[in-house]
Amino acid sequence: MKKLAVIAFGGNALLRGDQSGTIDEQEENVYNTCTNLLELLKKDYDIVIGHGNGPQVGNVLLQHEGGFKMFGIPAMPIDFCVAETQGSIGYMIEQQMRNVLEKENMERDIITIITQVEVDKNDPAFQNPTKPVGPFYTKEEADKYAAGTGAKFAVDPRGRGYRKVVASPKPMKINNIQSIKNLARDGQIVITVGGGGIPVFHVEPHKLQGIDAVIDKDLASSLLATQIGADEFYILTDVPKVCINFNKADEKRLDRISIAEAKQYLAEGHFAEGSMAPKVRAALYFVENGGKECIITTSAELGKDAAGTVIYS
């Protein structure tokens, strides 16, 4: 049987921190990332793609708020905005992946699934928002925006400014998981759990409803990879390897680390929340629940020997 890999797009795979987010910028980034996926496709992998939406969903929220202020158009909640970005980002990935495949004379169907992911409405994350969304602000801009809207902001651990933070509950159940697995095993390239999935919960038995949150895309992709029996899980970010003592004189890049080592580094505080810590937790979930290995790296490293940081069981 072919190897099955789940690849979680993030970082500069979609939008770089110094970019404004134009369609040309995003399409170029996506095209380059899809080109790098060729290394896996040429090795005859079946692949499923997850993706983030932090900058995009934040911008969509601002657009809704601006439309309400200027024209009285009702603003939609976060779950609705996540659905919007699943469709728009899925469209970009589909189109650019098709462009890459046609250039290589390769043929595969590419399918985007608008995916709801169930969460627990009593998850403690709703009392402690930590998930960054939207653009970066100066402290003065963030303070002004918070005063006017009640939004919460947190400083970026890499010093790029302040970002709005929202609740990030744990994903509990991915809807249509069997169909995702069947499509992938049939050779289709499947794009799913975009932005971590549309967060929903049972407001009463047999009735789903959206909830104001953003699910971490790496954790949702990890759950997805576990449930479809993926052999490998790739988390694409904007650094080639995970580091300890990051941005310090004694910074050290990590090549291969065990579950025990990863947990030790987490406990010692080497990985920042809102940055590398959730990626390492997602990797741990995968390898502790049947996965062989998780690789955290940039898209440019895909398919190379000794690429990225490998976390293994």
Catalytic-labelled residue, pool 12, 29, 36, 175 = 12
274 catalytic? Reply is no
The one catalytic residue in 164, 181, 217, 241 is 217
- Catalytic, 12? Answer yes
Which position among 11, 50, 195, 274 bears the catalytic label?
11
Q: Which of 131, 164, 181, 241 is catalytic?
A: 131
Instruction: Report the Cα 123 to chain-centroid distance in Å.
Output: 20
What SS3 string covers 38-93?
A: HHHHHCCCEEEEEECCHHHHHHHHHHHHHHHHHHCCCCCCHHHHHHHHHHHHHHHH
Contact status, residue 93 vs residue 101, Cβ threshold 8 Å? no
Question: Quick one: DSSP state of residue 3?
Answer: -
Query: Catalytic residue at 43?
Result: no
Catalytic residue among 54, 181, 279, 291: 279
3-class DSSP string for 219-270: HHHHHHHHHCCCCEEEEECCCCCCEECCCCCCCEECCEEEHHHHHHHHHCCC
Whether 207 is a known active-site residue: answer no
From the list 285, 312, 310, 287, the residue with the least C-alpha distance to 297 is 310
DSSP secondary structure string, 265-290? HHHTT-S-TTTTHHHHHHHHHHHHTT
Measured between alpha carbons, how far is 203 from 278 in angstroms, rounded to an integer?
A: 28
For 36, residues 6+ apart whose C-beta sits below 8 A from its C-beta are 299, 300, 302, 303
279 carries an active-site annotation: yes
How open is the CA angle 51-162-131, to the nearest 5 degrees? 40
Beta strand 293-297 with 232-236: parallel, antiparallel or unpaired? Answer: parallel
- By annotation, the residues acting in catalysis are 11-12, 131, 217, 279
